[in-house]
Amino acid sequence: MNLGKDRRPVTSQLVQQIQRLMSETGLKPGDRLPAQRELAERLGASRPTVREAVLQLEGMGLITIEPARGAFVAEGFERPETDLTRWTFEQRFSEVEIYQLRFALEGFAVRLAARHASQDDLARLSELNEAMRRAIDEARYVDAMECDFTFHMTVAEIAGNRSISDILALYRPIITRSQRPPVREPNRLHEAFVEHGAILRALSRRDGETAATAMRHHIVQSSDRMKVPFIAS
């Protein structure tokens, strides 16, 4: 796969364009964004696409939407040097909600991946899983986390559903934050390697049903390892 090729949907590209516009025009927390009609005209996009992009920006915590008033820059927005991949999500979504989202999306994505996975795809997933195991053995937990996330993103890419890939990428900050060190139970991290192996075996057999079951089991177990209740009380 050519990672340099931009395959993101138009909405995701528009999200970045609006982010740049917010920075370049010097908008500060509390400032009102241009109306969606104006954004559509300035960025050469359709209003429905702008509407979707604005909703994504709200979900990212970049803006707040007030009924009948419009969209406003959220607290904490910084100027152009800001790394826009580091916006926090905690004010809007809990870790429980993100694990539940992953349970639904990734369970379906891996079912699709079972139809499309080539031998090269399976080899790539296996290499990522082995890299994660080595990182765990060497107590390189940040590296292990990155390998784990890349494994899941690769499954989504193999599935061929760009919207699922984009959603997972959009929520990468909170997904990785929920798994970052300090690791609560380092001795349990090898469980993730074993669970990935079960997913890989199902994919190699083109068994989408078993792959989905293995993926959902893995996500529930991951939430347990990180002491995040899968079902909020």
One domain for residues 40 and 102: no
* Mean per-residue pLDDT, 142-152: 89
One domain for residues 61 and 23: yes
**Would you call the peptide bond into 48 cis, given omega within 30 degrees of 0 as the criterion?**
no
Distances in Å between the Cα of 180 and the Cα atoms of 3, 133, 136, 165, 211 are: 25, 16, 13, 21, 25
Task: Determine, yes or no, domain membership for 5.
Answer: no
Which of 60-64, 161-165, 166-170 tops mean pLDDT? 161-165
Identify the domain boundary among 83, 105, 129: 83
Q: Quick one: which H or E segment has residue 63?
A: strand 63-66
Which of 59, 60, 37, 46 has the alpha carbon at shortest distance from 14? 46
Task: Determine, yes or no, domain membership for 166.
Answer: yes
Domain of 33, CATH number, reads: 1.10.10.10
Mean pLDDT of the chain: 83
Q: pLDDT grade, residue 81 (50/70/90)? A: very low
Higher-confidence residue: 14 or 91?
A: 14
Q: pLDDT grade, residue 168 (50/70/90)? A: confident
One domain for residues 174 and 115: yes
Identify the domain boundary among 83, 115, 144: 83
Higher-confidence residue: 208 or 225?
A: 208
Enter the pTM of the model.
Answer: 0.62
Task: Determine, yes or no, domain membership for 88.
Answer: no
Q: pLDDT grade, residue 23 (50/70/90)? A: confident
Task: Determine, yes or no, domain membership for 34.
Answer: yes
- Range in 40-44, 162-166, 195-199 the model is least confident about: 162-166
One domain for residues 149 and 219: yes
Identify the domain boundary among 83, 105, 136: 83
Q: Report the pLDDT value the prediction gives residue 83, as an integer from 0 to 100.
A: 46
Domain count, the chain: 2
One domain for residues 204 and 112: yes
Domain of 181, CATH number, reads: 1.20.120.530
Farthest CA pair distance, the chain: 55
One domain for residues 109 and 220: yes
Task: Determine, yes or no, domain membership for 3.
Answer: no
- Range in 72-76, 103-107, 170-174, 221-225 the model is least confident about: 170-174
One domain for residues 124 and 202: yes
**Which residues are within 8 A (CB) of 98 and not within 5 positions of it... i.e. 6 or more apart?**
89, 171, 174, 175, 178
Q: pLDDT grade, residue 178 (50/70/90)? A: low
Task: Determine, yes or no, domain membership for 230.
Answer: no
Q: Which range marks the domain in which residue 26 is found?
A: 10-83
H helices present in 62-178, as ranges: 95-116, 119-137, 141-159, 162-170, 172-177
The answer to whether residues 156 and 150 touch, using CB atoms and an 8 Å cutoff, is no
